Structure formats: C-alpha cells, structure tokens
C-alpha cells in the first residue's frame, strides 16, 4: 500500500503527466481508505479547474468547455 506522501506526490504529478496503470491502481486503492488524500485530490482538481477557467477567460473564454467538470 502506498503511503500518503507517495499518493500526494502522484496526485501532483498526475496534473502534469499521465500516470502509469500501476500508479493509478495504487492511487485509487489508497483513496478508498484515506479521507485525507481524497480531500487533497479534490482540492487539486478544484484548483486545476479554476486555473483552466482563469486561463480560458484571459484568452477570451475559449478554454471553458474543453473538459466537462465532474462535479458540475
Ligand atoms: Zn492518504
């Protein structure tokens, strides 16, 4: 089982690169049992979505609908 430290690192890296299948499975297994990391990922997703919306707004709004928000 991954530690919280490994999981949070993978969540951060997952914003910038595609995780391997093994990494994703380990991540999801950990998230099933760890509220702290689940909250961390939710915050990362929120920040990423907010950043993308902001960038889209600056560029003229074109980037708003390229990916549906999961929580919408
Ligand atoms: Zn954890």
Which pLDDT belongs to residue 65?
A: 57
Compute, in angstroms, the gap from residue 31 CA to the centroid of ligand 1: 7
Give CA–CA dist 36/39, Å, rounded: 5
Boundaries of every domain in the chain: 4-59
CB 31 within 8 A of CB 41: yes
CB 19 within 8 A of CB 27: yes
Compute, in angstroms, the gap from residue 50 CA to the centroid of ligand 1: 24
Compute, in angstroms, the gap from residue 30 CA to the centroid of ligand 1: 6
Whether pLDDT at 71 is above 70:
no
- pTM above threshold 0.75: no
Average pLDDT for 4-27: 95
Question: What is the tens place of the pLDDT at every residue in 32-69?
Answer: 999 999 999 999 999 989 988 988 888 765 555 556 66
């Amino acid at each position: 089982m991954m530690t919280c430290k490994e999981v949070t690192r993978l969540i951060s890296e997952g914003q910038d690169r595609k995780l391997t299948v093994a990494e994703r499975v380990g991540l999801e297994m950990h998230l099933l049992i760890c509220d702290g990391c689940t909250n961390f990922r939710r915050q990362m997703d929120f920040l990423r979505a907010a950043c993308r919306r902001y960038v889209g707004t600056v560029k003229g709004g074109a980037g708003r609908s390229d990916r549906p928000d999961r929580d919408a």
